[in-house]
Amino acid sequence: MDYKDLANVIYPDAKSIEYYEEMYKPRNLAQGAEVTRFAPSPTGFVHIGGLYQCIINRALAKQTGGVFYLRIEDTDQKRKLENGVEQIVQALAKFDFVPDEGMISENEGKGDYGPYKQSQRREIYHAFAKYLIERGLAYPCFATPEEIEEIRKKQEAAGLRTGFYGVWAKYRNLPVDEAIERIKNGESFVIRLRSNGREDRRIKVKDAVRGHIEFPENDQDAVLIKADGLPVYHFAHVVDDHLMHTTTVVRGEEWISSTPLHIELFNDFGFKVPKYAQVPSILKEDDGKKRKISKRKDPEAAVDYYHKEGIPSDAVCEYLMNIINSSFEGWRKGNPDKKMTEFKMELSKMGVSGAVFDMVKLLDVSKNVIAKYNAKQVYDFAYTWAKEYDEELAKMLENEEYALKVFGIERENSKKPRKDLSKWSEVKNNIIYMYEAPTEFDFDKITGEDAKKVIEEYLKVYNFDDDKQTWFDKIKDVAEKLGYAREVKEYKQNPDNWPGHVGDVSTVIRVALTGRRNTPDMYEIMQVLGKEEVVNRLSSVCK
Rg of the chain over all Cα atoms, to the nearest angstrom:
33
Nearest to 397 by CA among 437, 431, 438: 431
Considering the complex, what minimum distance in angstroms separates the CB of residue 252 from ligand GLU? 6
Residues within the interface to ligand GLU (CB under 6 A): 39-41, 73, 237, 249, 251-252
Q: Where are the alpha helices (DSSP H) in 482-530?
A: 488-493, 502-514, 522-529
CB of residue 237 to ligand GLU, shortest distance in Å: 5
Closer residue to ligand GLU in complex, CB, 73/410? 73
Rank residues 238 and 378 by Cβ distance to ligand GLU and give the closer one: 238
| Nearer Cβ to ligand GLU (249/538) | 249
Q: Is the dihedral angle over the CA atoms 279, 283, 288, 289 positive or is it negative?
A: negative
Q: Which of 360, 363, 362, 400 is nearest to 382 (CA)?
A: 400
Nearest approach in angstroms of CB 233 to ligand GLU is 6
Indicate the SS3 state at residue 515: coil
Residue pair 345/59 in contact by the 8 Å Cβ criterion: yes
CB of 268 vs ligand GLU, minimal distance in Å: 19
Q: Kindly provide the b/e burial profile for residues 183-200, where b requires at least 16 CB atoms within 10 angstroms of the residue's own CB.
A: beeeeebbbbbbbebeee
Phi/psi for 394 (5° steps) reads -60, -40
Closest residue to ligand GLU using C-beta atoms: 251
Tell me how far, at minimum, the Cβ of 347 lies from ligand GLU, in Å: 15
Closest approach, Cβ 340 to ligand GLU, in A, equals 23
Backbone dihedral angles phi then psi of residue 232, each to the nearest 5 degrees: -85, 170
What angle separates helix 400-408 from helix 522-529, to the nearest 10 degrees? 170
Q: Which is nearer to ligand GLU, 111 or 252 (CB)?
A: 252
Angstrom distances, CA of residue 452 to CA of 177, 426, 441, 512, 540: 103, 32, 12, 10, 10
Residue 204: C-alpha distances to residues 216, 260, 263 (Å): 9, 9, 10
Q: How far is the CB of 43 from ligand GLU (least distance, A)?
A: 9
Closest CA relative to residue 454, chosen from 467, 439, 436, 441? 441
Residue 38 or 171: which CB sits closer to ligand GLU? Answer: 38
Q: What is the closest distance, in whole angstroms, from the C-beta atom of residue 146 to ligand GLU in the complex?
A: 30
